[in-house]
């Protein structure tokens, strides 16, 4: 049976690294939001306007879901490394999965703020093409830090918390 895994966590938690590992383990197709946003919108971004960023993220979500739905209909597995900053974002995909009779699994990655900050510093230096799409600055880290909404127990019924 097809699996849909939604990987969420605050900035720097290791979502992309974790997603790559899960994809190898369950033979899944991975979609990550960072390269989509970098490729499609980076040249147009002049400020950190959260409303504008989320509108662009939403457009990417629509395109990513269109392909994910086809993969799932064929019995394939999909891992979505889309940030899922808010419960509302996660609910959209949980509901889409429900309409396909698939129980979306939420994998919530958690790590201490300083651990995450150091991961970002390392990622910016190493620029590993598997996980690096753009430099995350201190300003970006601090901007996104308070935006993440931690999943509650009801969201994790089909998933779990991973402590990094």
| pLDDT tens string 83-130 | 899 999 999 999 999 999 999 999 999 999 999 999 999 999 999 989
pLDDT at 45: 73
Three-state SS at 163:
strand
Closest to 4 measured CA to CA, from 39, 42, 38, 30 = 30
Window from 9-13, 21-25, 44-48, 151-155 with minimum mean pLDDT: 44-48
Domain ranges of the chain: 4-163
Is the alpha carbon torsion for 152, 114, 107, 82 positive or negative?
A: positive
Q: Are 132 and 123 in contact (CB under 8 A)?
A: yes
Q: Which CATH number fits domain 4-163: 3.40.1000.10, 3.40.50.300, 1.20.120.1730, 3.20.20.140?
A: 3.40.50.300
* DSSP letter, residue 127: -
Rg (CA), the chain: 15
* DSSP β-bridge partners for residue 107: 7, 160
Provide the percentage of residues in the chain whose pLDDT is more than 90. Answer: 79
Complete DSSP assignment for 92-117: HHHHHHHHTT--PEEEEEE--HHHHH
pLDDT at 46: 75
Q: Is the pTM of this model over 0.85?
A: yes
pLDDT, one tens digit per residue, over 32-55 is: 998 898 889 888 877 778 788 888
């Amino acid at each position: 049976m097809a699996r849909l895994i939604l990987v969420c966590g605050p900035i720097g938690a290791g979502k992309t690294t974790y997603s790559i590992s899960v994809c190898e383990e369950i033979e899944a197709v991975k979609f990550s939001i960072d390269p989509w946003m970098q490729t499609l919108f980076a040249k147009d971004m002049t400020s950190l306007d959260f409303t504008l960023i989320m509108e662009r993220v939403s457009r990417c979500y629509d395109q990513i879901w269109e392909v994910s739905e086809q993969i799932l209909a064929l019995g394939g597995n999909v891992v979505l490394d889309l940030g899922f900053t808010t419960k509302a974002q996660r609910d959209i995909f949980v509901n889409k999965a429900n309409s396909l009779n698939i129980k979306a699994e939420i994998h919530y990655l958690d790590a201490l703020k300083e651990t995450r900050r150091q991961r970002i510093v390392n990622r910016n230096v190493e620029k590993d093409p598997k996980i690096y799409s753009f430099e995350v600055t201190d300003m970006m880290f601090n901007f996104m830090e308070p935006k993440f909404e931690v999943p509650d127990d009801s969201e994790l019924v089909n998933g779990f918390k991973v402590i990094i």
